[in-house]
Chains A and B, each alone.
Chain A
Amino acid sequence: MFSYKIVLVGNFGVGKTSLIRRFVENSFSEEYLSTIGVSISKKTIGNATIMIWDIEGHTEFKPIFKQYLMGAKGFILVADLLRQETIEALQNHIDLCYAVVKDAPICIALNKCDMPHEISQREIEEISKLSPTVLKVLKTSAKENEAVEDLFLTLDTRIKESIKAD
């Protein structure tokens, strides 16, 4: 029996809540309902219960964000392929996560890949080099259910390994 917490971090509107909904209840909605504060979901995979914290998207820094990140075993950082500034913000999010939980693994979702977008393989590689803790960078779509499982399961596998190793 395992149980751990992960947190999704990213600017507002990038699709954090949508990715979680896709993963947890396999559904999607076009409507944008901005998350207020934090919302928590739960998903069981095998013998692990994952508590997934969805925090409101942010551009400014609030001390409370740190509190939400505390105790997480891994992070999913989300950016929107259609908004360059959300990709540029990734570095900040990585720094914040690192400051709170050192060495926690990170998966990065470049979301909304179902829409026409431009991103080169080189740029993706650069993103994956932002930090040695980055496990994987994936182009995802919550809408078309692309790479969503991969995103969460990659992180789950790594976290389980690290818990067992302890």
Chain B
Amino acid sequence: MSQKKKTDNEEEALEGALSPIVNRLIDKNFEKSGDKIASQMAPLIGGAIREQIKSQKDDIVDALYPVMGNMISKFVTKSFEELLNKINQQIQSGLSTQTIKRKLKAKLKGVSETELLLEENAHAKIKAALLIHKESGMLLTKVENEDANLSDADMLASMMTAIRSFVNEWVASNQEHQELGEIEYGGNKIIIEASGSSYLAVIVEGAAYTKTYNKIRHALEEIVLEYGDEIQEFQGDYSQLKQEEIEKKLQELLFKESDTKNKQAKENKTHPLLYIVPLLLLLFFAYKSYESYVDESLKDAITHNIVTTPALSPYAITIDVEDKNAVLKGRVPFAYHKELAYKKAAEIKGVTQISNNIEIIPTLTDPMQVSAQIAYLLKGLNLSSANRLNYTFDYKNLHLFGTIDSHKQKESLLKELSTIKGIENIQDDIIVTPLKINTALYFGRGSYKLSPLAQKELLSLLIKLKKKERAPLLVLDAYSDMIGSKAKNTSLAQKRMQNIIDFLKTYDSKLTFKSYVHHNPPKGVDPQKDHDKARCVTITAKEEK
């Protein structure tokens, strides 16, 4: 309850802060007066907005998204300030408005001339679109073409979210401000378009050009504008969500492009024969359309009979009827399903023949899911250590390359991959480059206690060790700051090493150690200047026994 109140207040504050910008933005058309916008927005950025943006990024993105689309979400992150600073500089350095206009346009649209040309001939096919709750990864709704064969959209949504988290976290820690935009696999692509509290994952076949991206962006804009609040409040209860309406919006994404294309095609196809033998053709068409009407209604009847059979409804089975001959196509996991589909088709009167071309694929797998699964396995490994793994996946054939730091990790990776159904061949070009163990721990003056930092170091050392096939002999070297007596320093060194050994052994009792006490600081450390660095124990590994 109190949280709701808080968001209400925040919303008010936000509205107050944002309405001047939003209103101005709506008033002015961006394309027509880019320079004007720049000069209007620049002073605003300097003030309170900047703070708001930092603390309430998601809200801001949602509020502005319908107005300016994804551009805003990029703006709100670092490049927002950068871009505007740049614009400011240009204005100040007295560039002509014309130049700015052009630059802005190019920048905002992100289009190159070649791309515009390519776009003319592009045919990207959107196979499916999933609207996903950003934070939790729950699938809000989805639409798909009959040939999309999404076997488990819930799963895909969660996995995509996990991958997004990986990548975005990685990117964030690397200071480059960009979000995960797309994942590629085979000839397909998953395009990700995010707003504040939801994102769209769109599966596209073939090349995608600016047009496709714009279309996706537009769909998300409309959804956020109309259902943004509901989505933000979504707690898991679908009855609170206007799923069907949102679905309708998404559906447009699937059809629009091809529909307009068909229309164009029809317009161009006014055949001259039509004027020469009109009657003949008319008759022909009448007959054809009667026939196709019969076929069409047979098709509908069969489709209905199949999709209403619960055992068959999860599988995309397509039915074609021509001259009363029905052809069944699709992929199912068991022969049982194939026969059941045949039976259901045969129940319809009027069908003269049925060809059952349904394929039995022992485990129905979606190449995209397979690829997503591989992607996050590898991303996980890459994040957790010095691994540099990469892959290409062309349905069923996986090519792995790059480096990994232990055979053990590689084996467990291959093992996990082997449990992913849908990978048939693995071409393994992974090179194992062993992890180097080389840790230095520092101690306070006269102290042998392990600092929190030292404990953290030891824990990450343990994790590294866990990845090795066989635990190496650990060599401890204790160095001295040369302050105080030799005896005192020796005793301290021994206690320090014992503490380290005890700590490590509570986690892994099988570890073995060898320890050495030195009466000097480590090489290259001047105890006079750097006594903090001199009171140190290093841990290295002896691999070969």
Contact = CB atoms under 8 A, between A and B. Distances in A.
Interface of A: 1-5, 12, 33-34, 36-38, 40, 42, 48-49, 51, 53, 56, 59-60, 63-64, 67-68, 70-73, 85, 159, 162-164, 166
A8 to B, nearest CB: 14
B169 A64 contact: yes
Nearest to A100: B135
Contacts of A164: 237
Contacts of A63: 169, 173
A33 B154 contact: no
A12 B136 CA distance: 23
B377 A42 contact: no
A59 B136 CA distance: 24
B379 interface: yes
Contact of A166 (B235, B380, B415, B506): B235
Interface size for chain B: under 10, 10 to 19, 20 to 34, or 35 or more residues? 35 or more
Contacts of A53: 158, 162
24 contacts: A1-B239, A2-B237, A5-B138, A5-B158, A33-B415, A34-B466, A36-B413, A37-B376, A37-B377, A37-B383, A38-B380, A56-B380, A59-B462, A60-B456, A60-B460, A64-B165, A67-B169, A70-B165, A71-B134, A71-B135, A85-B507, A159-B236, A163-B235, A166-B235
Contacts of A73: 136, 235-236
Interface in B259-309: none
A29 B173 CA distance: 37
B30 interface: no
Contacts of A72: 136
Nearest to B409: A36
* Smallest CB-CB A-B distances: 5 pairs: A37-B380, A71-B136, A71-B135, A67-B165, A4-B236
Contacts of B166: 37, 64
A36 B23 CA distance: 48
A67 B166 CA distance: 8
A4 B237 CA distance: 8
Contact of B158 (A1, A51, A67): A51
Nearest to B467: A34
A163 B137 contact: no
Given A5-B138, A70-B136, A163-B237, A37 B154 contact: no
A88 to B, nearest CB: 11
A37 B383 CA distance: 9
A54 B447 CA distance: 40
Contacts of A4: 136, 138, 235-236
Contacts of A166: 235, 237, 240
Contacts of A37: 162, 166, 376-377, 379-381, 383-384
A33 B412 contact: yes
Contact of A71 (B133, B168, B462, B506): B133
A162 B236 CA distance: 10
B339 to A, nearest CB: 26
Contact of B463 (A1, A59, A64): A59
A71 B169 contact: no
Nearest to A59: B459
Interface in B202-256: 235-240
Nearest to B164: A67
A60 B456 CA distance: 7
Interface in B416-460: 416, 456, 459-460
Contacts of B383: 37, 64
B165 A33 contact: no
Most chain-B Cβ atoms within 10 A of its Cβ — which of A67, A159, A164?
Answer: A67
Contacts of B133: 71
A40 B463 contact: no
B128 interface: no
A81 to B, nearest CB: 17
B380 A42 contact: no
B152 interface: yes
A71 B164 CA distance: 14
A151 B413 CA distance: 30
B387 to A, nearest CB: 11
Given A51-B158, A59-B459, A63-B173, A36 B236 contact: no
Contact of A51 (B138, B238, B240, B384): B138
